[in-house]
Amino acid sequence: MKVAIYSRGLDDRQQVPLLALINELHKHNVSIAISASLAEKYGNAMSSVQNIQVFSDYNLDNATDCLISLGGDGTILDAVTIVGNKNIPILGINFGRLGFLASIGKEELSIAVDALVNGTFVIDKRILIHMDADIPLFDNAPFALNEFGIHKRDTSPMIKIHTYLNGEFLNSYWADGLVVSTPTGSTGYSMSCNGPIVFPESSSFCITPVAPHNLNIRPIIVPDNNIISFEIEGRSEEFICTLDARKEIVGKSIQLAVKKENFTISLVRLNENSFLSTLRSKLTWGLDKRN
């Protein structure tokens, strides 16, 4: 078995659990590859472990059986761009705060490795959202696990976003921005803008305005077989286009559309970590302090 380990940044306190993970994998004779950033920071500490390989972003071996993401949910979003269409499952270990996607705690390292080696885990297939534009954007990763967004720049006035479903006019949003989220992303930025929570296996996108200047505008759920396109108006000549945590500054004349990506991402979870249990534990779903 070959396992890759990725993180976009760990502090010194997290060196101990990192080394514990590597030693746990080594005990099971797992072949290990680590990201270049981890190798640069912790290479000396890992020198006692033999045959650790190093990979750079977007250069992950197709033969990798699993990519372990160390960090928070943002680290998993980065890992998605590294894995792309290689069909390599991602296992998230929470070194961050919320850990909605990275739901496995540092104290569960040995349990996670045992599950990985013995195949006693569950794979969740998650859809991605793909962005098309009439100019090159986001290099070789024009897709996102959580959401696509259109936003006004800094302190510029609100923008007007004309939105179409398969070419048919849907609505014009006077707002600070617009978020199109996948079911996975429905518990992220969209939810903070009063969007609905959608089950991960739902075949849908949620279109959620950001600070709309209309009392009668609400989020809407649409089937994910739609192509959603946009035209932008505003006093500013530029706006911000986002895919998860990545952004591009583009002119308002650009042609943009989003659709379901033609491949999925596989997320590894332990059997007991269901979507509903994560809702209750991470978002305090249904919590009533009177009880």
C-alpha distance across the termini of the chain, in Å: 47
Active site residue 61: no
Shortest CA distance to 138 belongs to which of 125, 127, 154, 149? 149
Token pair for residue 246? 């990545």
In 3-state terms, what secondary structure has residue 279? helix
Matching residue, tokens 């959580």 = 146
Q: What is the rounded distance in angstroms from the CA atom of residue 190 to the CA atom of residue 98?
A: 16
Q: What is the rounded distance in angstroms from the CA atom of residue 283 to the CA atom of residue 236?
A: 37
Q: What is the rounded distance in angstroms from the CA atom of residue 286 to the CA atom of residue 279?
A: 9
Token pair for residue 105? 């705690």
The pairs formed by 10-17 with CB atoms below 8 angstroms and a separation of 24 or more are 10/38, 10/41, 10/42, 10/70, 10/71, 10/95, 14/70, 14/95, 15/42, 15/45, 17/95, 17/106, 17/109
DSSP code for 166: T
What phi and psi values does residue 157 have, to the nearest 5 degrees? Answer: -65, 165
Among 11, 73, 132, 134, the one annotated catalytic? 73
Residues belonging to the active site: 73
